[in-house]
């Protein structure tokens, strides 16, 4: 199966369906939603739902810094 990859930036959220070898099957971009936390996560969930039958994993890249335990402490 394919992987759904998110690149969440300050202006746009880019996403792609990719193979584990890095082949890009499709890619898109939408404005990053800053309306509220709920709207932000809802927009990611809507994208994920669109591809749910094609993927078995999700990767997320953000412009934030991470603590060693995996928590974001600055984004």
15-53 per-position pLDDT tens digit:
999 999 999 999 999 999 889 889 999 999 999 999 999
- In the three-class reduction of DSSP (H, G, I as helix; E, B as strand; rest coil), residue 42 is classed as helix
Confidence at residue 26, expressed as pLDDT on a 0 to 100 scale: 95
The whole-number average pLDDT for the span 56-67 is 81
Sign of the dihedral defined by the CA atoms of residues 74, 13, 47, 54, in that order: negative
User: Does 65 have pLDDT greater than 90?
Assistant: no
Question: In the predicted model, is pLDDT for residue 70 greater than 80?
Answer: no
Asked if residue 71 has pLDDT above 80, the reply is no
């Amino acid at each position: 199966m394919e992987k759904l990859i998110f690149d969440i930036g300050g202006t746009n959220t880019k996403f792609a369906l990719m193979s584990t070898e890095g082949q890009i099957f499709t890619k898109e971009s939408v404005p990053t939603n800053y309306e509220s936390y709920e709207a932000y996560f809802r927009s990611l969930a809507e994208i994920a739902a669109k591809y749910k039958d094609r993927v078995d994993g999700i990767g997320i890249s953000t412009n934030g810094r991470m603590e060693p335990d995996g928590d974001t402490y600055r984004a």
